[in-house]
Amino acid sequence: MSAHVYTGPAFDAVDIIRIKRDRGTLSADQVAWTIDAYTRGAIADEQMAALNMAILLNGMDRAEIAQWTTAMINSGERMDFASLRTPAGAPMATTDKHSTGGVGDKITLPLAPLVAVFGVAVPQLSGRGLGHTGGTLDKLEAIPGWRADLSNEEMMRQLSEVGAVICAAGAGLAPADKKLYALRDVTGTVEAIPLIASSIMSKKIAEGTGALVLDVKVGSGAFMKSIEMARELAETMVALGKDAGVNTVALLTDMSTPLGLTAGNAIEVEESVEVLAGGGPEDVVELTVRLAEEMLQAAGVRDADPAAALKDGRAMDVWRRMISAQGGDPDAALPAARESEVVYAPADGVLVGLDALSVGVAAWRLGAGRARKEDVVQAGAGVRMHAKPGDLVRAGEPLMTLLSDSPERFARAKEALEGAVTIAPEGSRPASRLIIDRIS
């Protein structure tokens, strides 16, 4: 479907700014004109920056957020999966997952093929990492030959034949969001919940899936540091999804500790393959299975057993087909960092804290992430953890291994890890739970 053309009344950008500055409410036409005019270049960046700051400080009501989201969807094309059919010829249900980002969050990799095992199509449009949070596409691009950029036709064919695709969103999907996101990033307005919610949901609704599960991270390594803010964001996004006719549910999940035992690109692919082979860290398996259950339930599939499909190899079979369909070699050796340095446990006891933000920043500084969108990542860089909170550790034993092609990066990575580790006397227990709440 092509972009919607705005034909309503015109307004003045300064008047729009004043309304939000003075805690007023924008009409549907005012919102639609604002997004259309900014996308066309008729509103200057400095004017939109002022409006974004007014929204950050004064908020938006539910109707305004819904209208803002709709206007961003209307700035580009909408995808349509109605033509997808099961082998028996019945319409194929579609479902998707979005994570608000974290450290070691490789869940999409095993999750998409796992859900596809049960005959539900998973069109997973993903992004690249920026700062301390890793990007799904960066991880998969560590696989030799794998490509992220697919045409809509290639995507539809792969969904029909394989059932799952993980790829980059096309340039035509919510172009207003791309422009707005770049502006928010440099004007201190990224944290505005109405703008975060509309940014995420405009892309997901335009993507056209029938069901959506949101993984809203909470904690030091997450965008949302407090449960209250995470809950507000989750409730706003669930409401936007339901208003648009998308069956939407959200889980609040802990990101005070990294997920799994790896933070990087190739090493996270390696860990994801372990999960698909029936092993892998308990927290990665737990969250993968729980999200799969939510996605399948939202798509109308009952009595599925995702845990069994991980154990018996069915999910691995879909993974191999999915990687091959996008030019990747699932049997190829993954890139490995040329240099490594070990961080040792400072004392005996129980590891009760491993700060996610510190580990994420260390991986970023080692070369696994980027400071600017145009930066190149090192496929083999990252942090391999040898213990998780709850594990017994001994002084002088390896706690983490730092990986990089650039040994001069180790010093700054170790600086990021200062204070990241908390060791308590034997018998202590870490106070955290992976899945905090469910919002529907």
- The pair of three-digit structure tokens given for residue 25, joined into one six-digit string: 């409410």
Task: Out of 177, 215, 283, 355, pick the active-site residue.
Answer: 177
Q: Are 234 and 214 in contact (CB under 8 A)?
A: yes
Q: Stretch 294-304: mean pLDDT, rounded? A: 95
Q: Which of 36, 75, 96, 98 is catalytic?
A: 98
Q: Biggest alpha carbon distance in the chain?
A: 70
75 an active-site residue? Answer: no
pLDDT at 36 over 80: yes
- pLDDT tens readout for residues 155-197: 999 999 999 999 998 878 889 998 998 898 788 888 899 999 9
- What pLDDT score does 2 carry? 57
Q: pTM of the prediction?
A: 0.93
Do 242 and 248 contact (CB within 8 A), yes or no? yes
Specify whether 132 is catalytic: no
Structure tokens at 110: 């095993």
- 96 catalytically annotated: no
The predicted pLDDT at position 209 comes to 92
Q: Is the pLDDT of residue 1 over 70?
A: no
Measured from the Cβ of residue 62, the count of other Cβ atoms closer than 10 Å reads: 13
- Position 412 pLDDT exceeds 70: yes
Give the integer Cα–Cα distance in Å for 93 and 248. 14
- State the catalytic residue, choosing from 184, 231, 290, 384: 184
362 and 383 in contact (C-beta within 8 Å)?
yes
**Is 184 among the residues known to form the active site?**
yes
For 200-214, the pLDDT digits (tens) are: 999 999 999 999 999
pLDDT digits 0-9 by tens, 260-283 = 999 999 999 999 999 999 999 999
Count Cβ atoms below 10 Å from residue 373 Cβ, excluding itself.
Answer: 9
Average pLDDT of the residues in 215-242: 95
pLDDT at residue 129 greater than cutoff 90: no
pLDDT at residue number 264? 97
* Mean pLDDT score of the chain: 94
Active site residue 225: no
Whole-angstrom Cα Rg for the chain: 22
User: If pLDDT is split at 50, 70 and 90, which confidence band does 24 have?
Assistant: very high
Q: For 85-108, how does the pLDDT look when each residue is reduced to its tens digit (9 = 90+)?
A: 887 888 899 999 999 989 999 999
Instruction: Domains for the chain: give ranges and CATH numbers.
Output: 13-59 (1.20.970.10), 95-325 (3.40.1030.10), 339-424 (3.90.1170.30)
Percent of the chain's residues with pLDDT above 90:
84
Give CA–CA dist 59/219, Å, rounded: 23
Instruction: From the candidates 20, 203, 231, 314, give the one annotated as an active-site residue.
Output: 203
